[in-house]
């Protein structure tokens, strides 16, 4: 069961729950939801107990907690976090305990491994099958888009649809997305341009080198490296490259208009000033706009062959 499906449908919670998937923040929210549904507010602290899986030398404390009767309540909730970091022998022992949890208590195993991956040893979700409630906290694009909308509502802000789509398509975990939204929503509306400048740009060497070559006027070199990048990274990597190019043009534009670079990038000023003199503020701005349009189009519509878009961007920037 997907994370938001679990929140929306509120299925029955039995003696064993396996929280699987990949996103830590969604996992924490799933655990909080389980505790909220099963435990009274007044006695929650008395009937909830959490353990760190890697710190367990033996499952005995977990078994004792599961066997303890609720204190003035209907149930106890016992959570083992970071079970995916446990070694094989302790995992096997914990699984034996998980199969004999007495009613009305609930054991929650947070085992952040993809339910689709055939892991060795098997994940707790794969071992449990249909005998446990399984909550998949993988941050899919749909889940990320919904999270963005919820976060924006909580911040009293809005965002351009293209910005929401870009966040949903990115690779950051949802905790990083929340941090980005908190910064970008100060003005009340998150724009794609601001998002690209702050979050979707990437420091990886490949995109940086391609962007540097293109903006410096080495078009053939940029195209060759860009085609190699797409061949190895695939079409879905296109927004990352276009965002890096947009950032490079933005830095040149800042130099061309006599502005100052951010402190962490001032070391590049010596090399960017000559490029700024060649392009001028208008040329740098034109390159930035072209790169942003390419990025937005690749996020919104997808690109079957990103080489065509990159070639058009290179040609447009050279005019």
Whether 150 shows a pLDDT value over 50: the answer reads yes
- Structural domains in the chain (count): 3
Within a domain: 12: yes
Are residues 198 and 226 in contact, defined by beta-carbon separation less than 8 angstroms? no
Q: Are residues 155 and 271 in the same domain?
A: no
Q: Are residues 257 and 296 in the same domain?
A: yes
Q: Are residues 41 and 127 in the same domain?
A: yes
Tell which of 121, 136, 151 closes a domain. Answer: 136
Domain residue limits at 84:
3-136
Within a domain: 283: yes
Within a domain: 199: no
Average pLDDT over residues 197-217: 73
Nearest Cα neighbor of 78 from 87, 88, 67, 89 is: 67
Q: Are residues 295 and 252 in the same domain?
A: yes
Residue pLDDT, tens place only, 77-122: 999 999 999 998 999 999 999 999 999 999 999 999 877 666 566 8
Length of the chain (residues): 319
Average pLDDT, the chain: 87
The whole-model pTM stands at 0.64
Q: Are residues 130 and 8 in the same domain?
A: yes
Residue pLDDT, tens place only, 237-295: 888 888 889 989 999 999 999 888 776 667 678 788 899 999 999 999 999 999 988 88
Q: Are residues 223 and 313 in the same domain?
A: yes
Tell which of 191, 223, 254 closes a domain. Answer: 191
Q: Are residues 56 and 171 in the same domain?
A: no
Strand residues in 53-192 grouped as ranges (E): 77-81, 106-111, 133-136, 158-159, 189-190
Q: Are residues 25 and 91 in the same domain?
A: yes
Give the Cα separation of 216 and 219 in Å (integer): 8
Within a domain: 300: yes
């Amino acid at each position: 069961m997907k994370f938001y499906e679990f929140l929306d449908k509120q299925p029955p919670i039995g003696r064993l729950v396996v929280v699987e998937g990949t996103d830590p923040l969604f996992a924490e929210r799933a655990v909080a939801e389980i505790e909220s549904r099963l435990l009274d507010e007044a006695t929650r602290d008395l009937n909830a107990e959490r353990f760190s899986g890697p710190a367990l030398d033996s499952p005995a404390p977990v078994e004792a907690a599961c066997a303890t009767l609720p204190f003035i309540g209907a149930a106890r909730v016992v959570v083992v976090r970071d079970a995916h970091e446990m070694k094989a022998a302790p995992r096997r022992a914990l699984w034996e305990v998980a199969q004999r949890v007495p009613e009305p208590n609930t054991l929650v195993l947070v085992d952040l491994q993809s339910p689709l991956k055939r892991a060795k040893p098997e994940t707790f979700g794969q071992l449990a099958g249909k005998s446990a409630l399984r909550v998949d906290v993988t941050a899919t694009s749909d889940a990320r888009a919904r999270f963005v909308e919820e976060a924006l509502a909580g911040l009293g802000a809005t965002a351009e649809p293209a910005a929401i789509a870009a966040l949903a398509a990115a690779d950051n975990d949802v905790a990083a997305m929340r941090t980005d939204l908190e910064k970008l929503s100060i003005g009340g509306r998150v724009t794609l341009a601001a998002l690209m400048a702050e979050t979707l740009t990437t420091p990886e060497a490949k995109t940086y080198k391609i962007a540097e070559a293109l903006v410096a006027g080495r078009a053939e070199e940029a195209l060759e490296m860009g085609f190699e990048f797409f061949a190895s990274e695939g079409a879905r990597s296109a927004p990352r490259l276009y965002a890096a190019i947009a950032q490079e043009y933005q830095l040149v534009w800042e130099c061309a208009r006599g502005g100052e670079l951010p402190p962490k990038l001032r070391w590049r000023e010596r090399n960017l000033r000559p490029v700024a003199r060649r392009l001028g503020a208008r040329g740098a701005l034109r390159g930035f706009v072209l790169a942003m349009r390419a990025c937005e189009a690749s996020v919104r519509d997808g690109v079957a062959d990103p080489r065509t878009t990159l070639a058009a961007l290179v040609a447009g920037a050279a005019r």
